[in-house]
A and B are shown apart, each in its own frame.
Chain A
Amino acid sequence: MTPPRKKKLNLKKRYELMTRGLDWETSYQKMDDVFPYDTFEGIKITDWSKWEDPFRLTMDAYWKYQGEKERKLYAVLDSFAQNNGQLGISDARYVNAIKLFLTGVTPLEYQAHRHFAHLGRHIRGVGPRVAAQMQSLDELRHAQTQIHTISHYNKYFDGFAEFPHMHDRVWYLSVPKSFFDDACSAGPFEFFTAISFAFEYVLTNLLFVPFMSGAAYNGDLATVTFGFSAQSDEARHMTLGIEVIKFMLEQHPDNLPIVQQWVDKWFWRGHKMLGLVAMMMDYMLPKRIMSWKEAWEIYFTEAGGALFEDLSRYGLRVPKYADIATDEAEHISHQNWSIFYQYTQAAGFHTWLPSDEEMAWLSEKYPNTFDKYYRPRFEMWREMEARGERFYNNALPQLCQTCQIPMGYTEPGDPTRIGFRSTEYAGERYHFCSDGCKDIFENEPEKFSQAWLPVHQIFQGNCGGAELSDVLEWYHMKNGTDNMDYTGSPDQKQWDAWQSVRKRVAG
């Protein structure tokens, strides 16, 4: 007689018991008191059990997979460090792209960790609650792996040392910071729409795919490694994003206008923030992969177009001003690089003018705009540099009340005029770079009238003083080291010294 086989739960049953089975309806306390955050936004949920978990992953399995990934990741990072991987990058100028990326994005990963932890406690439905818990851990892991990369580059290059401090203070880092502060101070459904759907589903490929390929092209294995390690997590996050949207739209027809307004808002905010990535791709990589315009066509126009066609069965339409954003893909990288070039004295990374070869590449990639509008600007600056009169903008720029970027964007259809928009709220005047940013303000003036605009804060005396040197000190930016042009920087001198040693050794 054979012994009876041990009964083993199938995957589905086991998953149910390990997630849904751990939840209960409270009886001593009202559910609304236990979960106070998930109703005030007006999103109506009639049946939480209809939530389909995109990844049927239990916490123990999650732990196992992530542990394996960590072991591989840190092995690669260690070998990068031991083999002086920083010497294998295309050029030290490349590191400036990484400075901007890591000082801008790493603190956002940490913010995402914190807020998903909040949702992992406060969402009533157990399915999304578990998903938020896992994502919270993912985000903490991403912050840690990026900090390890920062830690390595920080030994050899300037501009990394004060990244958490800078995140809370520096004028251009207020752009990503305010983006995330806006999401975290919203309700849970808006946060999901902002971060999980608009950012991680609709726009994430524009951040990760071209940027990680850029890192690979430029020999930056440290960045490629954390990118790959994050990728399988990102796939899960994207699926969470699309599931949240479908769930809200399927639960109640009243949810549609609320969701549509959030999609419009967060698409526009994401588009403006990704302008920083546009500039990295077109101006900062010594070896380029594709232009921002090409990336936008592939990852937004084509992929996003298919997505919104699919979502149209719920009544959701393409985000408002998507056509304007597509038009801006011809301009945004050039305009943003112009901003940083003229404010190099207050940037935590180095700047430069594009070389002849780089300008030829830009002409080829931007036949409609580069030669006509932007090449003359760079040529003028080059002439001024040659005369020893390098162009600095010594006044502070007007900032958009919503996106907090200097108002350097031009009118749709007319690249010779700055687009100015303004409105009044409670007797005060507010300025915006675009209709998209103005609409966002007008939908929530109570929130955005409290915006911490770096330029106004300097004028109010809250940033260390009125002089540039005072403000840089308050930013913890080292004048003459972290800022200014790449040519003549300590980074460049160090790199040239390394290269000459290598040439000598190689004979």
Chain B
Amino acid sequence: MPVVALKPGYADAVEIRDKKENFHGNQVVYLHWEEHLSFCAATAFPLPPDMPFGALVEQLIPQYYGMHPDFGLIDWECVEWKIDGQQSTPDMGRSLAENGVDHKTLICFRTPGLNGFKGSCS
């Protein structure tokens, strides 16, 4: 659709504000624990693309999601992952980039059998 603008050449002068290079070597990654909506939205982190995927599970996720009563019950072997909507079995030893995580990728994880406080998805 052609841009509706007063100034000729407006579309070519647009500066996209959230390009990867504006994040000082990091890329924005979003995390979401499905069926646990007491975390009101997916969370956002600036992460180095060469960070191992396993660091999410060992450090980041426990730090930011650990207070939920379901958290201690998670069996990480059974967790189902989705990277940008695609079912995925991430290799924990390889980097985010090698697992297909890119700038502004959404990573969702589901914990079968655990669906929030008293099963309310909260």
Residue numbers of A with Cβ under 8 A of B are 36-37, 40-42, 187, 335, 338-339, 342, 372-374, 376-377, 379-381, 384, 389, 391, 393-399, 406-408, 410, 415-418, 420, 422, 426, 428-431, 443-444, 446, 449-453, 455-456, 459-461
Question: 1/0 per position for B94-109, CB-CB distance to A under 8 A?
Answer: 0000000011111000
The yes or no answer to B59 lying at the interface (CB within 8 A) is no
Taking a contact as CB atoms closer than 8 A, the residue among B3, B24, B26, B121 that contacts A373 in the complex is: B121
> Which of B39-47, B50-58, B73-81 lies on the face that meets chain A?
B39-47
A378 vs chain B, min Cβ distance (A): 9
- CB neighbours of A398 from chain B (8 A): 30, 32, 41-44, 106
24 contacts between A and B (CB under 8 A): A338-B38, A338-B40, A342-B39, A374-B122, A377-B38, A380-B117, A380-B118, A381-B38, A393-B39, A393-B43, A397-B41, A397-B43, A398-B42, A398-B44, A408-B37, A410-B37, A417-B34, A420-B106, A428-B18, A444-B4, A446-B5, A456-B28, A459-B23, A459-B44
A43 vs chain B, min Cβ distance (A): 10
CA distance A42 to B5 in the complex (A): 10
Residue of A nearest to B116 (CB): A376
A391 near B117: Cβ-Cβ < 8 Å? no
B38 near A372: Cβ-Cβ < 8 Å? no
A418 near B6: Cβ-Cβ < 8 Å? no
Most chain A CB neighbours (cut-off 10 Å) among B11, B14, B32, B34: B14
CA distance A376 to B4 in the complex (A): 47
A455 near B44: Cβ-Cβ < 8 Å? yes
A-B pairs with lowest CB-CB distance, top 5: A376-B120, A395-B43, A377-B122, A380-B117, A416-B121
- CB neighbours of A407 from chain B (8 A): 41-42
Q: Is the interface of A mostly helix, strand, loop or mixed?
A: mixed
A396 near B14: Cβ-Cβ < 8 Å? no
- CB neighbours of B104 from chain A (8 A): 428-431
Residue of A nearest to B16 (CB): A449
A387 vs chain B, min Cβ distance (A): 10
CA distance A458 to B120 in the complex (A): 33
How many contacts A-B (CB < 8 Å)? Answer: 145
B15 near A396: Cβ-Cβ < 8 Å? no
> How big is the B interface, by class?
35 or more
Taking a contact as CB atoms closer than 8 A, the residue among B1, B23, B37, B42 that contacts A443 in the complex is: B1
- CB neighbours of A460 from chain B (8 A): 18, 22-24
Residue of A nearest to B119 (CB): A376
Residue of B nearest to A453 (CB): B18
B40 near A379: Cβ-Cβ < 8 Å? no
Question: 1/0 per position for B78-89, CB-CB distance to A under 8 A?
Answer: 000000010000
Q: Is the interface of B mostly helix, strand, loop or mixed?
A: loop
- CB neighbours of B37 from chain A (8 A): 338, 377, 408, 410, 416, 418
- CB neighbours of A450 from chain B (8 A): 14-17
B103 near A429: Cβ-Cβ < 8 Å? yes
A380 near B69: Cβ-Cβ < 8 Å? yes
Residue of B nearest to A393 (CB): B39
CA distance A408 to B121 in the complex (A): 13
Residue of A nearest to B104 (CB): A429
Residue of A nearest to B31 (CB): A395
Taking a contact as CB atoms closer than 8 A, the residue among A373, A418, A449, A459 that contacts B42 in the complex is: A418
B122 near A391: Cβ-Cβ < 8 Å? no
B44 near A40: Cβ-Cβ < 8 Å? no
Known: A389-B67, A428-B104, A449-B17. A380 touches B44 (CB 8 A): no
Residue of B nearest to A39 (CB): B6
CA distance A453 to B19 in the complex (A): 12
CA distance A394 to B62 in the complex (A): 12
Taking a contact as CB atoms closer than 8 A, the residue among A36, A373, A429 that contacts B6 in the complex is: A36
B27 vs chain A, min Cβ distance (A): 10
B106 near A459: Cβ-Cβ < 8 Å? no
B64 near A394: Cβ-Cβ < 8 Å? yes
A406 near B41: Cβ-Cβ < 8 Å? yes
- CB neighbours of A376 from chain B (8 A): 116-118, 120, 122
- CB neighbours of A429 from chain B (8 A): 102-105
Known: A377-B120, A446-B10. A396 touches B44 (CB 8 A): yes
B41 near A418: Cβ-Cβ < 8 Å? yes
B121 vs chain A, min Cβ distance (A): 4
- CB neighbours of B115 from chain A (8 A): 416
Known: A376-B118, A444-B3, A446-B14. A397 touches B103 (CB 8 A): no
B30 near A431: Cβ-Cβ < 8 Å? yes
A337 vs chain B, min Cβ distance (A): 10
- CB neighbours of A420 from chain B (8 A): 32, 42, 85, 106
A397 near B14: Cβ-Cβ < 8 Å? no
B14 near A456: Cβ-Cβ < 8 Å? no
Taking a contact as CB atoms closer than 8 A, the residue among A40, A380, A416, A418 that contacts B32 in the complex is: A418
- CB neighbours of A391 from chain B (8 A): 38, 67
